Structure 1
């Protein structure tokens, strides 16, 4: 029995329409993250530095925890203390989940930020924070690895100086995989939301 005229064309059009609907549904699927998703665009967490207790540590020492990596320095007049204070509030809002996270504050001013100075600084903000320092070459290599930047400004008459630096917060999962990037423009709620996904039961893949 022959199909009616245009039956083949109708069938093809129907299949095409279904395909468009499925494609639209796939595109409209809500994404779990509220921050910028950098999965697959940044390398795994990797470093060898000195922590604020004077011990040599590597990224492996923080495996199993969600890690927030931030580049700053203790003499920073504004953005660093504001960021650290914000992260403290985020940790408080996470409650017990915060025990599964670490804040790594990497100094871009290793000449002044000794382990002792870093320890006093980071612990004044949050117990989950760890100060990290190293040689200028080590710090430069790490910032380049994550496409961050810093520049020492010209010294002032009193011998002090400022360091301009990137202000992003890099979030790595418990396996050391780069997952998210938070910026100063991002609302605190976004970071809390996404950390809940990474830290909570059935953590986001």
Structure 2
């Protein structure tokens, strides 16, 4: 290699090294520690936000409960309301059908209906509503602030929609499947195929 070729080769190496270090800093493989100094670091990968977390609510018997009261059992958490015309009753019937197909193992699954309409869904109203569904379902309500905190923890959506007769609630329609330690595992989508939903429930049992 001639001296001129060697200079060009070295220049290309220098350019490549600078480009690599610049990309490494941007990606988080290395981080700047003071002026002109680099130290090894771990890349920061932005993944799914945490789903689930602490809540304090009142169940349909009037008892104050927290997320800790359900720890040790996998949970199926659904946000809905008792005046819901279709999605909520359909989902509760679907969950009853799914757990019946799984059998005794599904007794470990705690199904929670968290209202998005606390103004109308008192413990008494929830208790009356749940008489039509699987007796293992626990209804949860609370103050507007408590419900908002639960919605935020689960990254769920709810919005009051005015109607001619008052209002209805638009809300998330998925069932959150949580492991026994309270961590999120997966979701069952509204009208999901039965085989897929059964497989997902078995993941947390």
* Distance of aligned partners of 1:182 and 1:173 in 2 relative to their CA distance in 1, 3 Å threshold: same
Question: Cα 1:129–1:191, aligned 2, differ >3 Å: closer, same or farther?
Answer: same
| Alpha-carbon shift at residue 138 of structure 1 (Å) | 1.0
**How many residues get paired?**
159
Describe the shift of the 1:122–1:44 C-alpha distance in structure 2 as closer, same or farther (beyond 3 A). Answer: same
Q: Which runs of 5+ in 1 are unaligned?
A: 1-38, 200-205
* Mapped partners of 2:53, 2:193: distance in 1: 24
Residue segments in structure 2 that go unaligned for 5+ positions in a row: 1-46
Q: Which residue, out of 152, 176, 180, partners 1:174?
A: 180
Q: Secondary structure at the residue paired with 2:155?
A: coil
- Contact 1:53–1:119 (CA under 8 A) maintained in structure 2: yes
Q: Which has the higher contact order (CA 8 A, sep 6+)?
A: 1
- TM-score normalized by the length of structure 2: 0.73
Q: For 2:122 and 2:149, locate their aligned partners in 1 and report how far apart those are by CA, in whole Å.
A: 19
Q: Report Cα offsets for 1:16-59 as digits up to 9, x if no partner.
A: xxxxxxxxxxxxxxxxxxxxxxx964244421100000000011
Say whether the 8 Å CA contact 1:69–1:105 is kept in structure 2.
yes
Matched, 1:163 2:175: no
Aligned-pair distance for 1:196? 2.0
The equivalent residue for 2:63 is 55
Contact map agreement 1:105 1:122 (CA 8 A) in 2? no
Question: What TM-score results when the alignment is normalised by the length of structure 1?
Answer: 0.73
Alignment of 1:103-114 (within 5 A): 103-114=111-122
| Structure 1 residue runs of 4 or more that deviate by more than 4 Å after TM superposition | none
Please, which moves more after superposition, 121-130 or 93-102? Answer: 121-130
